[in-house]
Structure 1
Amino acid sequence: MKLVRYGRPGHEKPGLIDAEGHLRSLEGVIDDFTPENLSEKTLARLSKLKTDKLPLVRGKQRMGCPVAGTRKFVAIGLNYKEHAAEAGLPLPKEPIIFFKAITSLQGPDDDVMLPRGSKKSDWELELGIVIGTRARYVSQKEALGHVAGYCIVNDVSEREFQIERGGTWDKGKGCDTFGPVGPWLVTRDEIPNPQKLDMWLDVNGERMQSGNTRTMIFSAAKIVSYVSEFMTLEPGDIIATGTPAGVGLGKKKDGKSAPIFLKRGDTMQLHIEGLGIQTQKVVPFKL
């Protein structure tokens, strides 16, 4: 299933995308896609619905983050060899864990705001994992059984805040609007192997990132298992699993570093096979 939340920010309604690509309402069937409603039992019940009998939602609708009430937004750094190389950093021996602020979460096509003082805001296309059942010290073999589904995450990052301002990476990762998620939460049954998904990101129509999840250093299963050693993963938690090469920080020209950073008016478009497309316009900060 392709599960969605649509409508005005703060007033999203639950829905799904049917086999023909139409938006169908789930109002009256489920209150929202909250952590409590991501269990295997609930998803199995939804999978048995006759989608052609559900109310059709007409007109263009804003898509919100497909999960409500997320408690943790975990991210993994340097999880593709080529990305570590372009960043000039050694390959990690274990997954690098950091956090994005919950307040960075937003819909997949909402504007991305440049924070005040931003000089080096950048894009990062990532496969997102949404937890469905509590995971605590789970084995790699069992790990994906705790996953409700997958989604696209744009791990937008302010590199000066992240790298040059001291402390941890988190301050460059959690700015408002720096966590577009969606458009869909695609349930685990539709993505039997999350390690063979093509992915790309364009900025202003120019291809910047192109890759496949098979080149991840640490697989989705390894990541869920590993993170569960250090914290309990709860239903609704989102894990961003790292980005392939092609971020603005790593751009080169004539063999020399020539970074490209986001500016007002830029447009980002992101795609992961089977998970849909995101599109964001870059705008200045506003309260």
Structure 2
Amino acid sequence: MKLSTVLPIVSALVGGVASQGLCATGDPTPATLAFLSKLQQRERRGTVVRRQSAAANLTVPVHMHAVVSEGQDDLIPEAQLQQQFKVLAESFAPSNIHLVLAGRTRTVDAALARGPLGQDAGFQEFVRTTRAGDYGTLNVYFYTDMDPGVSGICNLPSLGGGEDPFIWNDPCHILAATMPSDGVEGVQGKTAVHEVGHWFGLLHTFHGSTCNPFGGDMVDDTPQESVATTGCPVEKDSCPEQPGLDPIHNYMDYSSDPCLTEFTPGQAFRMHDMFAWMRASS
């Protein structure tokens, strides 16, 4: 039975598809932006009260879910899931975030393999029953038949996130074609890193498409960027009046996979703070 209203994940995210290219994560709500602004101000003063220091390891359990259509049972094999997890773990480790693989599931269903956009109540129930852990547990779903125009979707954390119905649309949803594959040059699994960055509370480095130093992603050590990156243009500078070249190597930009190599110390600080404020208390 179709829902009479659009599912939360669709209404929150579909509006961001056209404006944000291959990442369909929606714009943060005014309440989220206000919270991020307060965090930024406190971080600048060095007075943020955190339950978990960014200098200490933050350990996060991860559950990975492969969703494939009938006749494609050979896609997303166990080895590829392991390879993708390795990319995630190695990408977040420099930020003192220790990801631990806690479980895996595999579902064969043509309808579910299309991913979250445009789905019905059956998809919502599928996520409810397969998602594992509390609001501090990362769940990542990979779909063989997701719209190729959307490479990934992941919600920012919410202050009410530990309560239903928020919990069901908390996972990250990723197009399987973005996973690392030995036979596909240049595809290294960085889409999942980008989306999980959203899960930890990071915005795009080009958020707001502005050169205003009081706008953007609200992290002070990411250079201002007004235009998303494609490829790996080393001299790109969309905000020449502001310090620094565009952060083309930052996981929260849209650069090609081989170009994406880092989170900044400020982003690491922010991920720890957001987890402590919004996820660790669940």
Shared fold (TM-score, shorter chain, > 0.5): no
TM-score (norm 2): 0.27
More helix by share: 2
More strand by share: 1
TM-score (norm 1): 0.26
Higher relative contact order (Cα pairs below 8 Å, separated by 6+ residues): 1
